[in-house]
Structure 1
Amino acid sequence: MNSILKTGREVLKKEASAVLKVMDEIGEEFEKAVDILHKCSGRVVFMGIGKSGLICKKIASTMSSIGTPSMFLHPADALHGDIGMLQRDDAIVIVSNSGETEEIIKVIPWIKRMGLPVIVITGNKESTIAREGDVVLCVSVEEACPYNLIPTSSTTATLALGDAIAMAIMEKKSFKLEDFANLHPGGAIGRKLFTKVEDLMHTGDEIPKVYEDTPMKYVILEMTSKRLGVTGVFNKNEELTGIITDGDLRRAIKKYDNILSKTASDVMTKNPKTIKKDRLATHALKKMEDFSITSLFVMENEGDRQPVGIIHIHDLLKAKIA
């Protein structure tokens, strides 16, 4: 095997093993940490130096994205005035692999004086910093570096542990997709979480529509002209009773000698899937995936029989929802 590929795979294997090791070791202390952060009425303040500081910033960002206000405070800056950022209701998360980071050791007395709870994530649970923690989460792993020096496995495992804490808090808060949407108005995430079915659906004359007694010749013409690969089938009360798709046409051609002698009711699939117009477009996509279909008729309210629109998977693709 190419030596470069071999090295790459060995590193990934070691880092994956490190994450699994931490997974096996979390227990009561993890639950305590999640409980403290979930109950925090102020902000979760992360502190770390160097690469640990970078990991802190990412975890803080993730926590904020699930509605738990979080920030990063550099320990050196804290010693020179920025400790004034701390408030009485805050909780502190310190990340230090060695547990002996000088700048953090110097700032801890001031944190303790304020009575703030301290969660320590470290690779050395017997360290100076670990002894000051109300909760200690141990990330003692072998680095992927051949000299066991460069932070590799330890930063990966710490980052994964931070994600685990965030997701556990998310569960305790019963954080819903709609809550996430309110915190992510921009970019691809915002597009997926704010776009509703009614924003993308076809309405009015764009809705493919035939009646139960419509001859199949005109059914096919309607499907062709509306270019959605489907048509709804309605009764005399303008209620949706069925759907005819390209797949239904193929099955009917195989079943009947002369499909053009049939009517829509002979070929349609009864009780087509529908969705409310105020649902998120992502819900429409999931429903299409769950039932292996490409279109949904859109209703004003649950249980309605008269659609106000239709949405096709191509609409979701164009809107970059899928």
Structure 2
Amino acid sequence: MKKYNVVFCGTPEIGATILKQLMAMETLNVCLVVSQPDRPVGRKKEILPTPVKQVALEHNLKIIQPNKIGDDYQIIKQANPDFIITCAYGQFIPEKILQIPTLEALNVHGSLLPKYRGGAPIQYAIWKGETITGISLMRMVKKMDAGPYFAQKQVEITPDDDSGTLFQKMAIAGAELVKEALVPIALKQLPPIEQNEAEVTFCKNITSAEEKIAWEQSATEILNQIRALSPTPNAYTELDGVRFKIHQARLLTEQDLFPLNRKVHFPGEILYLDQEGIIVQTGDQLLKLLIIQKAGKTPINAGNYAINNTDISIGGFFNERFQKK
């Protein structure tokens, strides 16, 4: 049985799942793993190995962590790969690296291309209110996410999904796609499909400024933002200059509105507090904040926090710039 040499490039958990699948395939030999340099993680800023590096170490795979992957061109070339496969690696792959493998340089991309080319496709699918997304196994080319794809697999987005749960679903789908498609690609049994340029959409990396909630948006838009940015880095709002991250929220039903007085309110206004959470006016409907995190503290049930702390009260405003002048 012919074995194909693979150089795998990845960094977070979704990459670790793909790496495990590659190692489990009898037709493949993972000869080199490339991951981002280890960086501080969490509130304690502890230096930890990336999830992909951790898997590589556990299975005694050779691993490199270049600041720029192009600097390790010779190491990758000497691995003599048939495939280079990337998944959420986090660096642009220069063309000289893409030309190394004897068969293909492939990327496991977190969208149904040509939709959501770019660095945050999984988050954007939630943020834009999609109910279906998916994984594409595509050929890497010089232009970002512009190469043809060989296969795709759909993934459902449920109302309860946030980026954390969707990443898990996408990782499973990506592993299945690699298992099903890689050997047929090697045997030229799976022809590439060119992307329709007329249908291309983009999703740039999310900036810190985009994490702040603008309460004049609709309740649905804000909820999607909260879901897209959970469990990290989280959407946030401010009260009297203090930042509160919002981990979880829900839209209110008509039944939830009792005993609220439905007079005219303004975006960001705190209307009601109960043991479940904090009800806030948006640009149209009401939103209930369920889990919040005050700066420097741990996440907590929003209702418990509001009832036991005086800094959040009915009539107050998140992001004061939205209150009535």
TM-score bin, normalised by smaller chain:
under 0.3
Q: State the structure with more CA Rg.
A: 1
Structure number with higher strand proportion: 2
Structure number with higher helix proportion: 1
TM-score by length of 2: 0.24
TM-score by length of 1: 0.24
